[in-house]
Amino acid sequence: MAKEGKIVGFVPTMGALHQGHLSLAEKAAEDCDEIITSIFVNPTQFGPGEDLGRYPRDLEGDIKKLRSVPKVTTVFQPDPEEMYPEETHIYVTLDSLEERLREGRSRPGHFKGVATVVTKLFNIVQPHKAYFGQKDGGQCIVIKRLVQELLINTEIKLVPTLREKDGLAMSSRNAYITPQERPHATVLYKALQELHNLFVNGERKAEKLLQCGIGIISANQNVRIIYLDLCCSHTAKQFQGSDVIPKGVKVMASGAIMLGKTRLIDNILLEA
């Protein structure tokens, strides 16, 4: 799809677009001559019992939103049969990387599906630059390593998480949250903020940092903690227990919670 002589930016999405997605396209418009977007709810990154069937879909509304962004010339909307023919045998696996990422252990096979579909989309679009939101922190680590290790000639650009006024990270799945649940949706971000404050004030012991965040989440009886994690934002090496975060290492503090039937994730970056 990429055109000779033009810098082409690519923004892959699963649709149900919000301002966070549009911020990726707007950043691409600053850097590129032309923007290609994709809307594809990728079945291989959903596990058994997850929300593939009810994942929000609004193709007409999504296209209308994308028309408001300068330089968006193409919206690629493949069918599942196009991306995964009946006889599909080849997938991109991540070896130990998926196991090191807590999100990977929490959702077995998820990052295999992400890596496979992104590789296919890059092969089709052949963009110079591709834009991903930092909100999906584990995905960002996977995609950067994917491009590096498979020698894919696409520059990965990460865009900061866009948040609601109260700090909740924008997400398509926020549509699941009921009005009664909404006041509790920010507890993960509040826990990450307090963990960050402790880190800024000099705490480097993983156990102390994680206890701080877990305590804040556990105090809210309306949510269930799935995990809270500290890992290197490049290698996904975990820091836990008595580990001390070394100077110069950029660390991602990330977590996942259940609020009613909604699974929420978030992360922030720490730099020693």
The amino acid occupying position 250 is K
Decide if pLDDT at 272 tops 90: no
**All domains of the chain in start order, with CATH:** 8-159 (3.40.50.620), 172-271 (3.30.1300.10)
Q: Where are the alpha helices (DSSP H) in 54-164?
A: 59-66, 80-83, 96-100, 102-106, 110-125, 137-149
> Range with the lowest mean pLDDT among 88-102, 132-146, 177-191?
88-102
Question: What's the pLDDT score for residue 3?
Answer: 59
Please tell me the predicted confidence (pLDDT) of residue 1: 59
Tokens of 198: 């402790």
* Alpha-carbon gap, residue 42 to 22, rounded angstroms: 20
Is 186 a residue whose pLDDT tops 80? yes
Please confirm, yes or no, whether 89 is among the known catalytic residues: no
Q: Is the pLDDT at 149 greater than 70, yes or no?
A: yes
β-partners of residue 34 are: 8
Mean pLDDT computed over every residue of the chain: 96
Q: What residue type is assigned to position 240 of the chain?
A: Q
| Cβ–Cβ under 8 Å, residues 229 and 222 | no
**Is 13:125 a contact under the CB 8 Å cutoff?**
no
Beta-carbon contacts of residue 246 (< 8 Å; ≥ 6 apart): 272
CB within 8 Å of 159: residues ≥ 6 apart? 23, 24, 27, 131, 132, 133, 134
Choose the catalytic residue: 18, 21, 110, 128.
21
State the pTM of this model: 0.95
